[in-house]
């Protein structure tokens, strides 16, 4: 049986990366073949350009960086498909939903933003780590990277709302770390057995 493709989304500061790591560890401890995948993958050629853009050491046109983020996902698809068919469960820290939410929040056309990611692998579930902006700011404020500003993050949250459908599961990220972890683990354990790997996101 193939593994599940599990996407985790949320605004910055929602604890997403920490929770993804912990989820993978927990699944592995329970004997599941699980692996962490992170987008953007900053190690590849496109990833290095994205990294420099995010650290504000380079400037790029909004459309151009959008396409780079999408390319960064596309270049990983064959490998991910292969892993899924080998039975690996993939926990994916950000995906095309971040792609659309962040670029649309900057003012790019929402439908245009979806275009480049149409056809990516379809996740079995999207977990959304939900946190209000006030709670996010209580966690020590945002960092130095390009998108870590209150106004933009508020808009990102609104764009995420437009992308949600019934395959999304909301997780209250204001709970304790243990509670968030348990909620995520429960969602994974309750997933139905997956069918064949599906390409065709947003088709």
Using CB under 6 A, list all residues that contact ligand DGP: 12, 39-40, 54, 66, 69, 94, 98-99, 102-103, 145, 147
If the CB atoms of residues 30 and 55 are measured against Na ion, the closer one turns out to be 55
Pick what 102 binds: ligand DGP, Na ion, none; C-beta below 5 to 8 Å, kind-dependent.
Answer: ligand DGP
Residue 4's binding partner, choosing from ligand DGP, Na ion, none, with beta-carbon cut-off 5 to 8 A by kind?
none
Q: Is residue 17 involved in binding Na ion (CB under 5 A)?
A: yes
Is the CB of residue 16 less than 8 Å from the CB of residue 129? yes
* Minimum separation from the CB atom of position 94 to ligand DGP (A): 5
Peptide bond into 8 cis (omega under 30): no
Least distance in Å: CB of 116 to Na ion?
A: 21
Question: Which helix H or strand E contains 45, and what residues bound it?
Answer: helix 45-54
- Nearer to Na ion by Cβ, of 17 and 155: the residue is 17
Neighbour-count burial for 50-82, b at 16+ CB within 10 Å, e otherwise: bbebbeeeeeeeeeebbbbbbbbbeebeeebee
188, 6 contact by CB (below 8 A): yes
**Residue 12 vs 159, nearer CB to Na ion:** 12
Our CB check for ligand DGP shows the closer of 30 and 149 to be 149
CB of 48 to ligand DGP, least distance (A): 13
DSSP for residue 24: H
Is residue 12 near Na ion by the rule CB under 5 A? yes
Q: Where on the phi/psi map is residue 140: left (φ > 0), alpha (ψ -120 to 50), or beta?
A: left
Tell me which of ligand DGP, Na ion, none is bound by residue 54, counting a contact when its beta carbon lies within the kind-specific cut-off of 5 to 8 angstroms. Answer: ligand DGP
Beta bridge partners of 199: 121
Per-position DSSP letters for 139-166, written without gaps between them: TT---SSTT--HHHHHHHHHHHHHH--T
Q: Contact between 155 and Na ion (CB under 5 A)? A: no
Closer residue to Na ion (CB): 2 or 102: 102
In the complex, which residues of this chain contact Na ion (CB under 5 A)?
12, 17
């Amino acid at each position: 049986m193939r593994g599940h493709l599990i996407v985790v989304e949320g605004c910055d500061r929602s604890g997403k990366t920490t929770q993804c790591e912990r989820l993978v560890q927990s699944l592995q401890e329970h004997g599941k073949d699980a692996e962490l995948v992170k987008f953007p993958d900053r190690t590849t050629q496109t990833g290095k350009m994205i990294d420099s853009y995010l650290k504000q050491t380079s400037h790029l046109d909004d459309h151009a960086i959008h396409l780079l983020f999408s390319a960064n996902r596309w270049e990983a698809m064959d490998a991910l498909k292969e892993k899924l068919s080998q039975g690996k469960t993939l926990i994916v820290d950000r995906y095309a939903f971040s792609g659309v939410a962040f670029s649309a929040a900057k003012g790019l056309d929402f439908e245009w933003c979806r275009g480049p990611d149409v056809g990516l692998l379809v996740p079995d579930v999207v977990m959304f780590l939900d946190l209000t902006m006030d709670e996010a700011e209580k966690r020590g404020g945002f960092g130095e990277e390009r998108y870590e500003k209150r106004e933009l993050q508020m808009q990102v949250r609104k764009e995420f709302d437009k992308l949600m459908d019934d395959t999304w599961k909301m997780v209250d990220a204001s709970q304790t770390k243990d509670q968030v972890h348990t909620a995520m683990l429960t969602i994974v354990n309750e997933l139905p057995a997956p069918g064949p790997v599906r390409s065709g996101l947003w088709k």
